[in-house]
Amino acid sequence: MMNTQNNEKKIKTGAILRNNIFLLKLAWKYTPLYVTLCVLEGVLWGVNNAVDVYYTKILFDMLGRNEPFEKVIKIIIFMAAYYAVFWLFHYWYWKVQNGLEQKKLQYRIHSKLFEKARELDLACYDNPEFYNDFVWSINESDGRINKQLNDLGKLINRIVASLLVTTVLVTIHPLLAVIILAFTVIRIVLQMQKAKVDHARALDFNPLDRKTDYINRMFRLADCAKEIRLTHVSENLLSEYEKTIEEKKGVVRKYAKKRYFLSIATWIMMNVADGAVMLFLLYELLVTKSIALGDFAAGVNTVWRLSWLLRDLMDRIVKSKEHALYVDKLRTFLAYEPKLTSGDVTPEAFRSLEVRGLHFAYGEEEILSDINFKIEQGDKVAFVGYNGAGKTTLIKLLMRLYDPTSGEILYNGRNIKEYDLAAYRACIGTVFQDYKIFASTIAENVLADEYSEDKKETVLSALSKSAFSEKLATLENGVETELTREFSSEGTELSGGEAQKVAIARVFARPCDLLIMDEPSSALDPISEYNLNHSILETAEAQTVVFISHRLSTTRHADKIYMFESGKLIEQGTHEALMAKDGKYAYMFNLQAKKYAEGNHSL
């Protein structure tokens, strides 16, 4: 992902136009009517500005010539009808159609980005810069395009209006147009200087804003509520907040003088320009008598209107830089091609899974080193070791969420890179220790898919196998019970152990020959953990099961045990063989058995 400095360089070399055109093409692809209406509304408003000026001129000219009242009334009635049609369209667009088009664009853009997010390699989430830009792309997508379309409409409005109003001004007095344009150029230069200062100020504020936003979240999130109340962490946060506010005040002071003088200079220039034009018009009307009353009225109206139009036009151009900066990140995200490419072989029923000479590193840090083992169909296998030993990373490699740095993983004797990626992953039922319960029904959580009545028996069977039936019997709506209160105040909040059982049920809801359980019962007490794991082993008797744990309550039932430490496979064998060896596994098992006997179940 490109950094801010690179983005700024691109902006300076012409990417503003290119990126904004890209954003427009994206909007046109999904909502052509929205783009059409934005452009049309901009043109109509531009014309309307000129109509306003010309109407003022005609009306005052008629009054200056003492035209008959009936003739004046006809003009007023005609213009009233014009304004009625114009404002009917305006309110229809902004109060009805604009909202509909925005929602349509939001759905289609987000659907595209969500699909792209599904394609991202898991390694992208380990890259903070890419991940931050990815989150920004998702959050900003529809809102940014809506802003750009609105700015496009206003930009067209300002350009059309400025050209037409200037044309009217030239018909009144050519020198008047020259005076206004000269003052406008000076004012635009001052605004550009102020924009540079504001940009530098915003860059200084960014890291400080992230700090205050983080502290705000800590006091707001339910996940942090207990620690905030039971510890003194809030004092640390408040102290950091105070320091950050002081730093922000320093940034304000740093740029205050420049912003103040540039604002004052711009204000003086605006007022000098308006005063000079007003004096010029009065001189032409009262002294030289070279302009009519209508020209004077239209001239005053035009000066104020053109002054504002040109100033706002500059603002729209400055905003286009913001859009261009966002689009750089969006285009990089959309152009990202996954490094994990899919093969085309369809996997057969599971017979074996073999790991040969596997090494894996995050950047320069090696996580797994020279791992070798083989799992046969029907095996019950335990991966054990303390937290940080590399067990979960190994599972991600087996699921092909990452590729090894070197070595290979063989499914039925074939490198897993040769298999169709989605089909290969579908062969393995997995529960990770950081499982997620989604804001949907129990049935939808178990299926990880849409639920219908014909799937009820599958859901009930899976929940029974994961030992959730007793809790299910207490829920009035059964498998259609809403989980979490994210979307419904009547949603059910499960305990950690109950939620874990729902997550475990997912692997039993799909016909997978290979099951991988990563700390499947970590939220349970040792006795409940033992009962659940024993039940899983009995239920999955015909399946191959891999347990990952740093607690050893069920390892004695495993056919094979692999002991990991610091990313290396240091021992392997049956429970009896490893206990007889009296190595690291035996030490860990005896230590935990002692703690359980003493009533300390924390290990």
The more confidently predicted of residues 161 and 140 is 161
The more confidently predicted of residues 24 and 397 is 397
Give the model's confidence band at 74: pLDDT under 50 very low, under 70 low, under 90 confident, else very high: very high
Mean pLDDT of the region 456-479: 90
Helix axes 456-465, 526-539, angle to 10 degrees: 130
Q: What is the 3-state secondary structure (H, E, C) of 259-309?
A: HHHHHHHHHHHHHHHHHHHHHHHHHHHHHCCCCCHHHHHHHHHHHHHHHHH
Mean pLDDT of the region 500-521: 84
Q: Show Cβ contacts of residue 397 under 8 Å, excluding neighbours closer than 6 positions.
A: 358, 360, 368, 403, 404, 409
- Is 574 in contact with 560 (CB distance < 8 Å)? yes
As a whole number of angstroms, the distance between CA 324 and CA 322 comes to: 5
pLDDT in tens, 366-386: 999 999 999 999 999 999 988
Q: Say what percent of the chain tops pLDDT 90.
A: 32
Q: What is the mean pLDDT of the chain?
A: 84
The alpha carbon dihedral of 427, 430, 436, 437 has a sign of positive
The more confidently predicted of residues 490 and 240 is 240
Given a cut of 60, whether residue 603 has pLDDT beyond it is no
Q: Given this model, what pLDDT does residue 596 score?
A: 61
User: At 317, is the secondary structure helix, strand, or coil?
Assistant: helix
Strand partners, 571: 563
As a whole number of angstroms, the distance between CA 31 and CA 24 comes to: 10
Q: Given this model, what pLDDT does residue 348 score?
A: 93
Token duo for residue 486: 């994210």
State the greatest distance between any 2 C-alpha atoms of the chain, in Å, as a whole number.
118
If you search the block for the tokens 């992208």, which residue do you land on? 124
DSSP secondary structure letters along 408-459: EEEETTEEGGGB-HHHHHHTEEEE-TT----SSBHHHHHHTS---GGGHHHH
Give the model's confidence band at 5: pLDDT under 50 very low, under 70 low, under 90 confident, else very high: very low
As a whole number of angstroms, the distance between CA 287 and CA 278 comes to: 13
As a whole number of angstroms, the distance between CA 133 and CA 130 comes to: 5
User: At 66, is the secondary structure helix, strand, or coil?
Assistant: coil
Q: Can you give the C-alpha Rg of the chain in angstroms? A: 35
Given a cut of 70, whether residue 11 has pLDDT beyond it is no
Query: Closest Cα to residue 504, out of 535, 550, 479, 473?
Result: 535
The more confidently predicted of residues 594 and 151 is 151
Give the model's confidence band at 166: pLDDT under 50 very low, under 70 low, under 90 confident, else very high: confident
The DSSP call for residue 595 is H
- Is 491 in contact with 437 (CB distance < 8 Å)? no
Q: Given this model, what pLDDT does residue 8 score?
A: 42
Residue 545 has φ and ψ, to the nearest 5°, of -125, 135
As a whole number of angstroms, the distance between CA 486 and CA 108 comes to: 24
The burial of 582, by beta-carbon neighbours within 10 Å (0-12 exposed, 13-18 middle, 19 or more buried), is given as exposed
Q: Are strands 560-565 and 380-384 parallel, antiparallel or unpaired?
A: parallel
Token duo for residue 584: 């690291």
Query: Closest Cα to residue 374, out of 178, 597, 589, 544?
Result: 544
| Beta-sheet strands, E only, within 67-173 | none
Residue 303 has φ and ψ, to the nearest 5°, of -60, -50
Given a cut of 80, whether residue 595 has pLDDT beyond it is no
Mean pLDDT of the region 525-554: 75
As a whole number of angstroms, the distance between CA 39 and CA 23 comes to: 15
Q: Given this model, what pLDDT does residue 376 score?
A: 94
- Is 482 in contact with 424 (CB distance < 8 Å)? no
Given a cut of 70, whether residue 601 has pLDDT beyond it is no
Q: Given this model, what pLDDT does residue 536 score?
A: 74
Give the model's confidence band at 474: pLDDT under 50 very low, under 70 low, under 90 confident, else very high: very high
Q: Say what percent of the chain tops pLDDT 70.
A: 93
Token duo for residue 145: 């395009």
User: At 516, is the secondary structure helix, strand, or coil?
Assistant: strand
As a whole number of angstroms, the distance between CA 317 and CA 301 comes to: 24
The burial of 200, by beta-carbon neighbours within 10 Å (0-12 exposed, 13-18 middle, 19 or more buried), is given as middle
Q: Given this model, what pLDDT does residue 576 score?
A: 92
Given a cut of 50, whether residue 9 has pLDDT beyond it is no
pLDDT in tens, 265-324: 888 887 887 788 888 888 888 888 888 888 888 887 777 787 778 778 877 777 777 777
Q: Given this model, what pLDDT does residue 4 score?
A: 40
Length of the chain: 603
Choose from 95-109, 401-415, 443-457 the range with maximum mean pLDDT. 401-415
Given a cut of 80, whether residue 488 has pLDDT beyond it is no
| Beta-sheet strands, E only, within 136-202 | none
Q: Given this model, what pLDDT does residue 10 score?
A: 45
Q: Given this model, what pLDDT does residue 184 score?
A: 75
As a whole number of angstroms, the distance between CA 188 and CA 273 comes to: 13
If you search the block for the tokens 């072989």, which residue do you land on? 345
Helix axes 32-64, 128-172, angle to 10 degrees: 30
Q: Given this model, what pLDDT does residue 491 score?
A: 85
